[in-house]
């Protein structure tokens, strides 16, 4: 049986789900730093329309990923969604036991 962590609010969170929430939070922080770096490029004097469009697409992709990771954290706290689905959202991988069961 998996160990559980109990939060201050009394919510029991299994170790695998807590790990997924932590990984999501760490990646969110890294993405925040990346977006901050991209935004600092906006003031560059040699920035062309093409570069602006590329930056817009990069930032849009990063913010979409951030939304996905935020939904994982909320699902862990709300005890919503399956651990396998959350794992897939964080890592992009299917768990081995899911493959075995089809």
User: Can you give the pLDDT at residue 1?
Assistant: 47
Mean pLDDT for the stretch of residues 13-18:
90
The pLDDT value given to residue 2? 59
State pLDDT tens for residues 24-67.
999 999 999 999 998 888 878 888 999 999 999 999 999 999 99
Q: Domain map of the chain by residue range?
A: 14-92
pLDDT, residue 94, reads 72
Predicted confidence (pLDDT) per residue in 63-97, tens digit: 999 999 999 999 998 888 999 999 999 998 876 66
Cα distances (angstroms) measured from residue 96 to each of 9, 72, 81, 93, 102: 33, 20, 18, 9, 10
DSSP 7: -
Q: What is the pLDDT of residue 18?
A: 92
């Amino acid at each position: 049986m998996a160990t559980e962590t109990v939060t201050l609010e009394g919510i029991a969170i299994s170790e695998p789900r807590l790990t997924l929430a932590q990984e999501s939070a760490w990646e969110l922080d890294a993405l925040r730093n990346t977006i901050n770096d991209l935004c600092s490029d906006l003031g560059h004097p040699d920035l062309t329309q093409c570069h602006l469009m590329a930056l817009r697409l990069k930032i849009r992709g990063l913010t979409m990923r951030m939304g996905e990771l935020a939904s994982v954290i909320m699902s862990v706290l709300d005890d919503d969604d399956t651990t396998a689905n959350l794992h897939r959202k964080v890592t992009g991988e299917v768990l081995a036991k899911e493959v075995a069961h089809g």
